[in-house]
Amino acid sequence: MKPLRTGSVVLELTLIVLAAGTAAADDKVITYGFSTDYFSKYIWRGQNVDNSSVLQPAFSANAYGFTGSIWSNIDMTNRSAVAPDNAWEFSEYDLTLDYTGTIPDFNWVSWSVGTIYYQFPNQVFNPTTEIYGGFSLTQVPLTPTFKWFRDVQEIHGSYFQYSIGQTFDKVYVMNENCYCGLLLGASYGWANAAYDRGYFGVNSGQSNDLTFSAALCTQVYSWMIKPSINYSSMLGNSIRDATDKSDNFWVGLGISTTF
């Protein structure tokens, strides 16, 4: 088996909202973020990594457009297929360095480049590294976003993701420090033959996954509480045949803050 990692359209949208709120709130040179999420399953790019409960804490620091972060996955049960009998132990952590900016005179176009290093303690998988690049149209309805991920260590293949999302700010306001918003997102993934061969044993480029997410974000002072529901389906027939659970529904509950 090959290394796997999580991902979420709603998570990306939440980070964008938090970053925008922080930038508007103060002029700190360095800002920090902390989050921890519970999910009933660990799903990454449509692939069911763990069909049981997981906890995913993360920490980040941002300055001058650069963001460094560490993300981790903790299996909460002994039922993980990739890390059995390791309840409450780390099965993965990822180190990410990202730079995000805008195009001069076109500040509605946001672009980003970065690299992700994946490590898998308590598993037999080798560590690997991805580089990525992409852009978002931040003032266009549904905020269309395109990203290209290239594994340069183990898989030597590419995964392309197109996503859209909509934020509904302050759909319910209790007071100026406590209010609720709604985040809706969807993503589509396609991968080339090298990627599909490495992950699925499929020797052709195919559609990989279609994912839908919704989260109700409650802001309480500097903290955000985020219950979410998610659904993902593997698309290509050969990809579906190569995966054990091709359709997944899962729920989550997260808490995050910036400071």
At 53-103, the pLDDT tens digits run: 999 999 999 999 999 999 999 999 988 777 777 789 999 999 999 999 999
Q: Which of 51, 26, 21 is nearest to 39 (CA)?
A: 51
Report how far apart the first and last C-alpha atoms of the chain are (Å, whole number): 39
Please report where in the chains the tokens 């303690």 appear, as a residue: 121
Helix boundaries (H) for the chain = 9-25, 193-200, 237-242
Q: Give the count of beta carbons closer than 10 Å to the beta carbon of residue 120.
A: 21
Give the span between the Cα atoms of 30 and 63, in whole angstroms.
5
Half-sphere exposure of 83 (CA within 13 A, CB side): 25
Q: What is the pLDDT of residues 120-137, one digit of tens each?
A: 998 888 999 999 999 999
Confidence (pTM): 0.88
**Which has the minimum average pLDDT: 14-23, 38-47, 239-248?**
14-23
Q: Give the count of beta carbons closer than 10 Å to the beta carbon of residue 13.
A: 23
The structure tokens listed for 69 are: 């972060």
Domain residue limits, the chain: 9-258
Say whether pLDDT at 235 is over 80. yes
- DSSP for 20-78, written as a single string: HHHHHH---SEEEEEEEEEESSEEETTEEEESS-EEEEEEEEEETTEEEEEEEEEE-SS
Q: Which amino acid is at 234?
A: M
For the chain, give the percent of residues with pLDDT over 70. 90
Beta bridge partners of 65: none
Domain 9-258 has CATH 2.40.160.40: yes
Contact predicate 38/227, CB 8 Å: no
Give the span between the Cα atoms of 123 and 202, in whole angstroms.
24
Whole-number Cα distances in Å, 187 to 2, 164, 165: 22, 6, 9
